[in-house]
Amino acid sequence: MLDWTDRHCRYFHRLLTRHALLYTEMVTTGALIHGDVTRHLRYNDEEHPVALQLGGSEPADLAHCARLGEQWGYDEINLNCGCPSERVQRGAFGACLMAEPALVADCVKAMVDAVQVPVTVKHRIGIDRAEDYGFVRDFVGAVSEAGCRVFIVHARNAWLKGLSPKENRDIPPLRYESAYRLKADFPALTIVVNGGITTSEQVTAHLARVDGVMVGREAYHIPWWLSAWDGTFYGAESGLQTREQVEAQMVAYMEREAAAHGTPWPNVARHMLGLRHGLPGARRWRQVWSDHRLREQPAHEVMALAHAKVS
């Protein structure tokens, strides 16, 4: 979810669900060690619970960055062993790390020793076209011995050559059974399944076999789905608001961000463009909120114009 689940997106999603665990976009160790820590780690207090996802392959660097994440107040540190992009491969991390379970174990142990918050791993079920369950079983076994108790399983292989990152999210076939087998083989571990999940009915079916479900693209593109999660999956009052109330809260947030950090409202508004998905006038509403010619207008004026377009 690189460039998607930034702090503005997470603030928006937290308005829709109070209980789901939110994840940052992947932040590389190099970006934190050599770059602007505040820019990469700043978040809104409302986002809790929120996990910091790291990309890297050097145990000492990951331990240092995990400590930074804990100091900033993140509730979990997650190591990405699932991203298939060539840029990430050149950095020798992401999905290609699955071929080196001993190194991943060293990375996890270094982080576990460095912080008190949970250290988790997100990974694929295989690399390229090999579909040997033993590969992912042995990976999880080795990494769990280093202290990782939570594994987020994107139930597709990562094809490291010949497919773009986008194609890697669609073309390798989903094999949820591998995640189910991991739960059966490692009952003491928390196994979370990810990949291709688009309905509450699918979430409920997975929860009968594993401990949790991670949703990415569908939550981003059809965010109103999140508004049902607290009541459906957490047995909690949803505090359900209307879409218009959520939009108004986002406008207030945009104007606070503009005053405090000079953040242009389009940087925030882009994350809520799916809010009216499926409603009459949704396309016209999106067009207003996507119109960069309006960027100098206050966000509340843009909202009024958007509503005028759909009324």
CATH code for the part of the protein at 7-225: 3.20.20.70
Architecture of the CATH domain 243-310: Up-down Bundle (1.20)
In the chain, where the domains are located: 7-225, 243-310
Share of the chain above pLDDT 70, in %: 96
DSSP 3-state of 222: coil
Mean pLDDT of 7-20: 97
Quick one: pLDDT at residue 237? 79
Spatial contact of 25 and 16, defined as CB atoms under 8 Å apart: no
Quick one: pLDDT at residue 58? 96
Quick one: pLDDT at residue 1? 66
Is pLDDT above 80 for 151?
A: yes
Spatial contact of 276 and 286, defined as CB atoms under 8 Å apart: yes
Quick one: pLDDT at residue 86? 58
Is pLDDT above 60 for 265?
A: yes
Is residue 44 packed enough to be buried (19+ CB in 10 Å), middle (13-18) or exposed (0-12)? middle
Quick one: pLDDT at residue 92? 65
Please identify which of the residues 83, 96, 107, 148 carries the catalytic annotation.
Answer: 83
Q: What is the DSSP letter of 146?
A: T
Tokens 């990974």 map to which residue?
Answer: 123
Q: What mean pLDDT value characterizes the chain?
A: 94
Quick one: pLDDT at residue 311? 80
Quick one: pLDDT at residue 233? 96
Is 107 a known active-site residue? Answer: no
DSSP 3-state of 152: strand
